[in-house]
Structure 1
Amino acid sequence: MALPPKFKGHRLVFPDTAVTASEDAPLHTIELYLDYVCPFSAKLFNTVHRTVAPAIRADPSLSSKVQFIFRQQVQPWHPSSTLVHEAGVAILRLAPSKFWDFSAALFKDQKSFFDVSVVNESRNETYRRLAQLGADSTGVSASEIFKLIAIPAQAADDGSLNVGNAVTNDLKVIVKMARLVGVHVSPTVIFDGVVANDISSSWTGEQWSEWLKRNIA
């Protein structure tokens, strides 16, 4: 599936990609459907981010042929899932090149946003913590992040109460895109448009390496 330009921070490409990618040598695409408050998503992301991506960067035969796309997969049975992904969308808008850094920090601290961790705080209190996490991990101003995700305390001028925040419409697009491909489980990996059911969140770097060698031509 296509990636809208405003979500360019979702894409992870490697140094040789821009030079060698062409119509004759198109890139393979690995899409990672991940939920920030899913422990299994965290396992898969951490392996890709810490082990797989550095290995690809070091191997020109792979780095020139593959790209990753982070697909934000909101899982609504965890109410905080919406909130944490809204913070991710705010980073996409303010500092797209820092999106993967923010994601790494959020996955590391994900338990702070699990159901029990947020039940006794207001929505905007959770947003303030997310804004500070964004600032600490990307250098973006916490106040600028909070401005995009905060919910106003009063009705809109026309009396509307379901006013959302400044990233609501972008999040709607992200949710619609996941629905179009029927993704339900997090994490889900899609390789060149087809669900790769053989890839597990428990895979090691070595297993990823073997799979890449078999599938990246």
Structure 2
Amino acid sequence: MSGPSTSYRVDPLVWGHGPRVFEMFVEPTCPFSVRALGKLDALLRQAGEDRITIKIRFQSQPWHMFSGVIIRAILAASTLEGGRETARRVMGAVAAHREEFEFTNHCAGPNMDATPNDIIRRMERYSGVALAQAFAVPDLQSAVKWHSRYARQNGIHVSPTFMVDGLIDPAISSGDTVEAWMERIFA
């Protein structure tokens, strides 16, 4: 059995191709990030792919104990057939089963006995995407580090945080409607 391939491409998590750039800094198990990610399709549909470019960026948070493992697995999924859509399927599976990837009160519960391999297997089971081999590609850490550096360089500290054309907009919240987002994005 051969080891993981080092020939891969991390597909950017970008939808749309318009001039207005909306970046969502998220942590995949954060309930507020999950709520924001759930609005991606509606925002793209209402704004129009030719008017907006939506970019998903990861903001790992240490109180979400498996954050790093989950983010790496999602980026690994983007290297597989289907690229960003495969990654999106994995993100959706995590969101739909969020409690199985979290700790009770961020410090207790059944996940205290879970290993990273357990988490990857759960992600595979719920998404139907075989992630383990892509996850094990050592060079994938470059993509993980890029997301971390990019967030830090832009002063991102929590998720979700939203940027419009390179500027953080603290008035945008995951609890807002898509219409409210559009008012801020296209102001």
TM-score bracket for this pair, using the shorter chain length: 0.7 to 0.9
Unaligned ranges ≥5, structure 1: 1-5, 22-26, 58-62, 151-163
Corresponding residue of 1:211? 184
Unaligned ranges ≥5, structure 2: 1-8, 104-108
User: What percentage of residue pairs aligned between the two structures are identical?
Assistant: 24
Q: Given the two structures, how large is their TM-score scaled by the length of structure 1?
A: 0.71
Aligned-residue Cα RMSD (Å) equals: 2.2
Q: Given the two structures, how large is their TM-score scaled by the length of structure 2?
A: 0.81
- Counterpart of 1:101, as a letter, is R
User: Which of the two has greater helix per residue?
Assistant: 1
Corresponding residue of 1:97? 84
Q: Name the CA distance, whole Å, in 1 between partners of 2:143 and 2:124.
A: 18
CA contact (8 A) 1:80 1:118 kept: no
Query: 2:184 is paired with a residue of what secondary structure?
Result: helix
Question: Which protein has the larger Cα radius of gyration, Structure 1 or Structure 2?
Answer: 1
Aligned residue among 125, 132, 143 for 1:132: 125
Query: 1:36 is paired with a residue of what secondary structure?
Result: coil
Deviation track 1:96-150 (CA, whole Å, cap 9, x = no partner) reads 2312333223222222101235222222111111223332xxxx4x2xx112325
Runs of 4+ residues over 3 Å off in structure 1: 6-9, 209-212
Distance change in 2, residues 1:124/1:101 (3 Å) = closer
Deviation track 1:165-197 (CA, whole Å, cap 9, x = no partner) reads 563332122212211112101000000010011
Aligned residue among 59, 63, 68 for 1:77: 63
CA contact (8 A) 1:31 1:189 kept: yes
Corresponding residue of 1:29? 21
Aligned residue among 113, 116, 123 for 2:101: 113
